[in-house]
């Protein structure tokens, strides 16, 4: 399976269940979660007396009538905790939105003992109506929970609609850069851009990108650029390629390449191109996006072309370095081969790397370390450094 495959998005190794929406929108990425225990385990759990309070149990089951009945008692405590969680928390974790709304209307406390609150939980679990009511009741869309803002939790949960709603409500993302030089792109990223990129959620990434570009364009010195052009409907990856192409066609490549700039929309685009082309240690670029940019005749900056040209020439001329290179930049061969029409010298002709890449493509194999090792066998080992580093 290749990084950036159009049909099969990258799967991630993780020690915890995936965010709640991934079981719906990305079934192939879903891993075993608590509610996925086999029947035997569930039966065993049911046999254990956990002494759940009636209200907590009703909220967990989304039983609104039972909730109303229990709260009619004069000594009922809507904020009573069970294992440190309130009934409202139970309804949110179980994603029973109507039960959560009912409890909020009946006066449930919106701040929780673990430091989170109803807005943070609603953002993570994709409960938009709960988020709306939480904001109406005074919760701040920019108040973090252990440095995790609601907008980040919405990205973690994988809910594009929630991300869009929070942005509309004023969620501030100016403290996050598209691709900070000192941050790796991992599933543990606390940067919404990097997290969306890691999970290949280009729909979410594009929402964040457009919000950032709009903010930067509204600064006094960028007022002349005007509003962002509307994009066509369809595949998020294609829409992201369209946004980048429109911007690249409207701006001088020298401006986007200007290393002296530290802020502004051109820098945002430049950092996005770093992600697309995998210009970072252990960073998976996206060769499909690269192909779409080339197909759309996007005028790529010389910094990008020079980087690709240098990577290709190094792999071609120093095969003994490829093992290390492909481990540090997993998609670099795939991406440079896709961009070969733009970077290949006219007098280069055929070479061993082109022959190998074409052979792998012919067999439908990705241009990765594992494929090269599989295809070349002992020859691949002989091509590497005498003493591995």
Least confident range from 15-19, 172-176, 184-188: namely: 15-19
Q: Is the pLDDT of residue 140 over 70?
A: yes
Closest CA to 213 of 246, 182, 260: 246
**Digit-coded pLDDT (tens) for 302-329:** 999 999 999 999 988 888 888 888 888 8
Please compute the mean of the pLDDT values over residues 240-255 and round it to a whole number.
82
Q: With pLDDT > 70 as the criterion, what percentage of the chain qualifies?
A: 78
Is residue 327 assigned to a domain? yes
What's the CA gap between 341 and 336, in Å, rounded?
A: 9
Q: Is the pLDDT of residue 29 over 50?
A: no
Q: Is the pLDDT of residue 2 over 50?
A: no
Strand runs (DSSP E) across the chain, as ranges?
Answer: none
Q: How confident is the model at residue 60 (pLDDT cuts 50, 70, 90)?
A: very high
What's the CA gap between 177 and 181, in Å, rounded?
A: 9
Q: Is the pLDDT of residue 37 over 90?
A: no
Please compute the mean of the pLDDT values over residues 51-79 and round it to a whole number.
93
Q: How far apart are the first and last CA of the chain?
A: 26
What would the two tokens of residue 255 be?
């401006």
Angle of helix 118-125 relative to helix 97-105, nearest 10 degrees? 170
Please compute the mean of the pLDDT values over residues 273-285 and round it to a whole number.
89
Is residue 38 assigned to a domain? no
Please compute the mean of the pLDDT values over residues 134-158 and round it to a whole number.
92
Q: How confident is the model at residue 106 (pLDDT cuts 50, 70, 90)?
A: very high
Least confident range from 14-18, 76-80, 222-226, 229-233: namely: 14-18
Decide: helix, strand or coil at residue 140. coil
Is residue 93 assigned to a domain? no
Question: What pLDDT score was predicted for residue 386?
Answer: 57
Question: What pLDDT score was predicted for residue 251?
Answer: 76
Is residue 347 assigned to a domain? yes
Total domains present in the chain:
1
Percent helix, strand and coil across the chain, each to the nearest 5:
55, 0, 45
Query: What is the reported pTM?
Result: 0.81
Q: Is the pLDDT of residue 40 over 70?
A: no
Higher pLDDT, 216 or 14: 216
Is residue 376 assigned to a domain? yes
Decide: helix, strand or coil at residue 117. strand
Alpha-carbon distances of 74 from 51, 77, 110, 149, rounded to whole Å: 22, 9, 21, 37
Alpha-carbon distances of 377 from 167, 316, 360, 380, rounded to whole Å: 51, 18, 13, 6
Alpha-carbon distances of 62 from 71, 148, 181, rounded to whole Å: 15, 27, 45
Residue ranges making up the domain that contains 355: 301-389
Is residue 17 assigned to a domain? no
Characterise 377 by phi-psi region: left (phi > 0), alpha (psi -120 to 50), beta (else).
left
The DSSP-derived string for 304-320 is HHHHHHHHHHHHHH-GG
Mean pLDDT of the chain: 82
Please compute the mean of the pLDDT values over residues 236-262 and round it to a whole number.
78
- Range with top average pLDDT, 27-36, 197-206, 254-263, 373-382: 197-206
Please compute the mean of the pLDDT values over residues 172-196 and round it to a whole number.
87
**Digit-coded pLDDT (tens) for 335-370:** 999 999 888 866 666 788 888 888 889 889 889 888
Q: With pLDDT > 90 as the criterion, what percentage of the chain qualifies?
A: 46
Is residue 388 assigned to a domain? yes
Give the length of the chain. Answer: 389
Is residue 360 assigned to a domain? yes
Q: How confident is the model at residue 33 (pLDDT cuts 50, 70, 90)?
A: very low
């Amino acid at each position: 399976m290749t990084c950036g495959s159009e049909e099969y998005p990258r799967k991630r190794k993780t020690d915890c269940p995936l965010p709640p929406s991934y079981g719906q929108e990305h079934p192939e990425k879903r891993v075993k979660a608590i509610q996925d225990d086999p029947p035997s385990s569930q039966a065993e759990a049911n046999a254990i007396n956990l002494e759940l309070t009636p209200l907590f149990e009703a909220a967990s089951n989304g039983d609104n009538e039972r909730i109303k009945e229990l709260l009619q008692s004069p000594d009922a405590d809507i904020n009573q905790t069970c294992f440190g969680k309130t009934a409202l928390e139970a309804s949110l974790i179980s994603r029973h939105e109507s039960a959560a709304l009912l409890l909020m209307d009946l006066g449930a406390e919106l701040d929780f003992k673990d430091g989170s609150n109803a807005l943070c939980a609603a953002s993570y679990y994709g409960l938009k109506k709960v988020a709306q009511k939480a904001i109406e009741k005074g919760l701040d869309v920019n108040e973090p929970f252990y440095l995790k803002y609601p907008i980040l939790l919405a990205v973690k949960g994988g809910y594009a609609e929630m991300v869009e709603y929070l942005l509309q409500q004023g969620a501030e993302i100016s403290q996050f850069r598209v691709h900070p030089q000192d941050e790796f792109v991992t599933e543990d990223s606390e940067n919404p851009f990097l997290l969306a990129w890691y999970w290949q959620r280009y729909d979410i990434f594009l929402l964040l990108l457009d919000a950032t570009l709009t903010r930067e364009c509204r600064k006094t010195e960028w007022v002349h650029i005007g509003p962002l052009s509307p994009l066509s409907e369809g595949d998020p990856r294609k829409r992201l390629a369209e946004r980048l192409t429109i911007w690249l066609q409207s701006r001088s490549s020298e401006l986007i390449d200007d290393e002296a700039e530290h802020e502004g929309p051109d820098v945002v685009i430049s950092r996005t191109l770093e992600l697309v082309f995998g210009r970072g240690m252990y960073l998976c670029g996206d060769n499909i996006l690269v192909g779409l940019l080339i197909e759309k005749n996007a005028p790529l900056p010389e910094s990008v072309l020079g980087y690709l040209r240098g990577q290709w020439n190094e792999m071609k001329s120093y095969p003994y370095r490829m093992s290390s290179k492909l481990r540090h930049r997993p998609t670099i061969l795939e991406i440079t081969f896709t961009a070969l029409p733009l970077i290949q010298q006219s007098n280069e002709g055929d070479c061993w790397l082109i022959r190998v890449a074409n052979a792998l493509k012919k067999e439908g194999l990705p241009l990765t370390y594992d494929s090269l090792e599989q295809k070349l066998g002992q020859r691949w080992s002989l091509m590497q450094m005498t003493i591995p580093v």
